[in-house]
Amino acid sequence: LIAPKWHMAKGQFKDYVIQQMTCREWRQGDLFGRGKKEEPESGSGLKTVETDDGSVTFWNEDYKEHYHSPAGARLEAEEKYIVPGKLKERLEKGDLHLLDVCFGLGYNSLCALDATKQDASSTLSITALEMDRRVVGAAAKNIQTSDSDSFDWKQTLAELYKGQASSIPSQASISILWGDARHTITKLPTQYFDLVFLDAFSTQRNSELWTVDFFKKLKAVMKPDAVLLTYCAAIPVRSGLMEAGFFVGETDPVGRQRGGTLAAMRAEDIDLPLPDHELRMIRETTRGLPYRDPYGVRTNKEILRDRQERIIECKQ
Ligand code: SAM
């Protein structure tokens, strides 16, 4: 980060801080009143918020985080998942199995479905993991279908909330496995998925899905040429992915945000390697210590505390 200058005027300072804010930090609070917060869905603890690209996201009162970055919920789906995952190119080559971990309002899956062409010969089959059913119900009421969409997003969400979606492109299918992803992932076939999207809340609030142990479970269901995408660029996440046996690189930044992370089973699938200073940090400093959850039952607090204790041990 470039340090803010003492002579910056109030407005300049605010712009500077917004520029430097990462997706994760914004997710943790509406610091500058960006986005219009509206009344919560009755009893759901979810507040709708408009992002800069006009798409709506939610504020989750339990996690105290937004579901998406301020730049745009749809934009984030495209730029952090669909584009770096080369979804369209992959679909041109053949059938695709996509695992969408943390379905939420469904933008990542919906954008993937939207990318399938009606006249395409290959098929897209999506398996999504999500533990909070009410968010899909609330999304079905609040998300907007745009004129350029190839199917009715609202209708699809409403159908998924009730059971199986049928109003989607004919070459595609989607189903949601409800429950804790640490458990539901064990129900999936091994070496089955070509592409994995991992979109949990931040590491400080949702560390259950950022552990070496969960990454190993993800790796087990991925084909040998599959890749995993996430918006998260945290050092313990990247080091955890490396320990789980992935080759790890970056994805291009969107707008003013930092790039995300791409984890691949083969070195040749990494286009943007991690910078040397980050690799050194991972190998030589306690910042590189990953999150651990050996039996898949620890709470967020237990996972964070365990890592903190290991950091203290290393420093003694
Ligand atoms: N991809 C979503 C979208 O496009 O709207 C946003 C995902 S949001 C940042 C994180 C989601 O992960 C929430 O919907 C939350 O309910 C879900 N989640 C958190 N922990 C989970 C777990 N252990 N198992 C399954 N889902 C989980």
What does the chain look like in DSSP terms, one character per residue? -PPPPTT--HHHHHHHHHHH--HHHHHT--TT--S-EEEEPTTT-EEEEE-TTS-EEEEETTTTEESS-TT-HHHHHIIIIITTTTHHHHHHHS-EEEEEE--TT-HHHHHHHHTS-TT-SS-EEEEEEES-HHHHHHHHHH----TT-SS-HHHHHHHHHHS---SS-TTEEEEEEES-HHHHGGGSPTT-EEEEEE--S-TTT-GGGSBHHHHHHHHHHEEEEEEEEES---HHHHHHHHHTT-EEEE----TTSPP-EEEESSGGG-SEEPPHHHHHHHHHSGGGPPB--TTS---HHHHHHHHHHHHHHHH-
The reported pLDDT for the residue numbered 19 is 43
Q: Where are the domains of the chain?
A: 11-66, 74-288
Taking CA atoms only, the protein residue closest to ligand 1 atom 2 is 104
Number of C-beta neighbours around residue 126 at 10 A: 26
Taking CA atoms only, the protein residue closest to ligand 1 atom 4 is 107
Pick the residue with more confidence: 12 or 177? 177
Taking CA atoms only, the protein residue closest to ligand 1 atom 16 is 132
Distance from the alpha carbon of residue 200 to the mean position of ligand 1, in angstroms: 5
Supply 69's token pair: 């970055």
The reported pLDDT for the residue numbered 166 is 83
> Is the predicted pLDDT of residue 233 greater than 90, yes or no?
yes
Fold topology of 74-288: Rossmann fold (3.40.50)
> Is the predicted pLDDT of residue 37 greater than 50, yes or no?
no
The reported pLDDT for the residue numbered 20 is 45
Region 84-109: mean pLDDT is 96
Report the mean per-residue pLDDT for the chain: 88
Distance from the alpha carbon of residue 313 to the mean position of ligand 1, in angstroms: 32
Q: How confident is the model at residue 314 (pLDDT cuts 50, 70, 90)?
A: very high
Q: Mind listing the pLDDT tens digit for each residue in 158-186?
A: 999 998 888 898 899 999 999 999 999 99
Taking CA atoms only, the protein residue closest to ligand 1 atom 17 is 102
In total, the chain counts a number of residues equal to: 316
Radius of gyration of the chain (CA): 19
Instruction: Pick from 67, 102, 210 the residue to mutate for probing ligand 1's pocket: most ligand atoms within 8 Å of its CB.
Output: 102
Ligand 1 is surrounded, with C-beta below 6 A, by 67, 77, 102, 104-108, 129-132, 135, 180-182, 199-201, 206, 208-209
From CA 126, how far away is CA 109, in angstroms rounded?
A: 7
Instruction: Pick from 60, 65, 131 the residue to mutate for probing ligand 1's pocket: most ligand atoms within 8 Å of its CB.
Output: 131
User: What is the atom index within ligand 1 of the atom nearest the CA of 181?
Assistant: 24
User: What is the atom index within ligand 1 of the atom nearest the CA of 66?
Assistant: 9
> Is the predicted pLDDT of residue 247 greater than 70, yes or no?
yes
From CA 60, how far away is CA 51, in angstroms rounded?
A: 15
Distance from the alpha carbon of residue 132 to the mean position of ligand 1, in angstroms: 7
User: What is the atom index within ligand 1 of the atom nearest the CA of 77?
Assistant: 4
Region 150-156: mean pLDDT is 93
Distance from the alpha carbon of residue 81 to the mean position of ligand 1, in angstroms: 15
> Is the predicted pLDDT of residue 49 greater than 60, yes or no?
yes
> Is the predicted pLDDT of residue 204 greater than 70, yes or no?
yes
From CA 126, how far away is CA 105, in angstroms rounded?
A: 15
Distance from the alpha carbon of residue 11 to the mean position of ligand 1, in angstroms: 35
- pTM beyond 0.95, yes or no: no
User: What is the atom index within ligand 1 of the atom nearest the CA of 135?
Assistant: 14
